[in-house]
Structure 1
């Protein structure tokens, strides 16, 4: 075997990029810029935004703003998070956490996503698993189903 050709284990363990296949940068297939405003938001920013939003929701519940005991009704925090996403992403294109970390949800055609897209995206996000499976453009299954992408501000 030639030294220029990778072994099959190197390809399998390192992914297709280790095999010398150029897939381009995340968002290139979608017509988005490589860097700066409008480029695909990184995984760290997206995770950070949802952690901030989750903390805000749990704080609202534990401080008695909603007067619900989260131990008696463990599904309440996820409903509060879903309400936040529906309201804020549906109107402004971003949640509090997204705003703090400089990202927003955009429709693939440009502009803000429609209400149905936000509803589908939020429902799948609350299931968690679709958000953890993402493609080479760093779009989770919830983004793919809603035809949205999270971009930098």
Structure 2
């Protein structure tokens, strides 16, 4: 009789019933019911990084305008706050930030809701601001910030 907990060398899939140990996807987004390619498929990492860079540069420019009006404030703190507000409001209102619009990607809820609500957009942006959750990804390429906020970034064109 096999031990239900498996061996410490077997890894976490050893405790799964027979036949359920295969967690590999044929493609990214398969478990979420998304198409393999085209509109509505998981956005590639390169597009996501370019969108993040565009949003950060936009926030940096806006923060520069604010910083010139408030010289005692810290420019890096203002930039981060502008980036957070931009991300939360843009994703809530339009499902994409300016950088995501330029790169052809958008944020969607995994439960099929038509829009990302402000709570989930806030959770996503706050976790993304911590940077580390974005580097912890699953088999679908979704970062921890997307998993915890129940969102996914998809190609929009």
Q: Equivalents in 1 of 2:137, 2:143: separation in Å? A: 4
Match of 2:109 among 107, 110, 130: 107
- TM-score normalised according to structure 1 size: 0.80
Aligned position for 1:135: 138
CA-to-partner distance for each residue in 1:73-124, whole Å, 9 max, x for gaps? Answer: 4311111100001110011010000000000000002222122111110110
Structure 2 counterpart SS, 1:74: helix
Q: Equivalents in 1 of 2:72, 2:145: separation in Å? A: 26
Aligned position for 1:148: 151
1:54-65 aligned at under 5 Å gives the runs 54-62=56-64, 64-65=65-66
Match of 1:98 among 94, 97, 100: 100
C-alpha deviation, 1:72, in angstroms: 3.3
CA-to-partner distance for each residue in 1:39-66, whole Å, 9 max, x for gaps? Answer: 000000000000000000111222x255
- TM-score normalised according to structure 2 size: 0.78
Q: Equivalents in 2 of 1:126, 1:68: separation in Å? A: 23
C-alpha deviation, 1:132, in angstroms: 1.6
Q: How many pairs align?
A: 132
> Structure 1: which 5+ residue stretches go unaligned?
1-20
Q: Equivalents in 2 of 1:86, 1:131: separation in Å? A: 16
Q: Equivalents in 2 of 1:124, 1:25: separation in Å? A: 26
CA-to-partner distance for each residue in 1:5-63, whole Å, 9 max, x for gaps? Answer: xxxxxxxxxxxxxxxx953100000000000010000000000000000000111222x
- What is the root-mean-square deviation of aligned Cα atoms in Å? 1.8
